[in-house]
Amino acid sequence: MTDSNLKSARAVADVTSGMLLACVEIAAPPERVFRALASSEITKWWGSADLYRTTKWTGDVRVGGTWIAEGVGSDGSSFSVSGEFLNIDPPHEIVQTWRAAWDGNHVTTITYRLEGIEGGTRVTVRHDGFADRVESCRGHSEGWERVLNWLRGYLGGAK
């Protein structure tokens, strides 16, 4: 299977249950994808000049460990998002909380599942905890498509 046969990111929001699912196929092994998701390497790919860039990431990648990402928007405003790791199962799963000031400091939960497939890795993201915050759920769904495509573009054909 070539990279062109792998699927670009897609996301769907289930606003009734306050969760979303996003998925992408990446031409890199699960170990490589895991490292890109759970390290300061995030600063190399999470963002774009026209929206925002993540400029700093620190984390203690273990159950109970915390993480924080900081960045700057295209308008020059700074932001941060943080959370705690709830489950770490390299290279198969990362479960973490997500708290962002721009989203009212609500705590949601993100689960990354990494599955080895022919030609690479299928990454599935489940983002739960939006409750009745319909617009936030929809907005994050659109955001996850962008983020997973940035990850896919960064890793490309990495082996």
Domain span at residue 18 reads 3-155
d(CA 27, CA 5): 10
pLDDT band at 158 (very low <50, low <70, confident <90, very high): very low
Which of the two residues, 2 and 139, has the higher pLDDT score?
Answer: 139
Task: Tell me what the mean pLDDT of segment 3-10 comes to.
Answer: 75
pTM of the shown model: 0.92
| Element containing residue 85 per DSSP (H, E) | strand 78-89
pLDDT band at 2 (very low <50, low <70, confident <90, very high): very low
Over residues 106-156, the pLDDT tens digits come to: 999 999 999 999 999 999 999 999 999 999 999 999 999 999 999 999 997
Spacing of C-alpha 144 from chain mean position: 7
Angle, in degrees to the nearest 10, between helices 30-37 and 134-155: 120
Over residues 76-115, the pLDDT tens digits come to: 999 999 999 999 999 999 999 999 988 999 999 999 999 9
Q: Is the per-residue pLDDT at 59 higher than 50? A: yes
Q: Identify the CATH number of the domain in which residue 10 sits.
A: 3.30.530.20
What is the count of structural domains for the chain? 1
Give the three-state DSSP class for 9: coil
d(CA 139, CA 145): 10
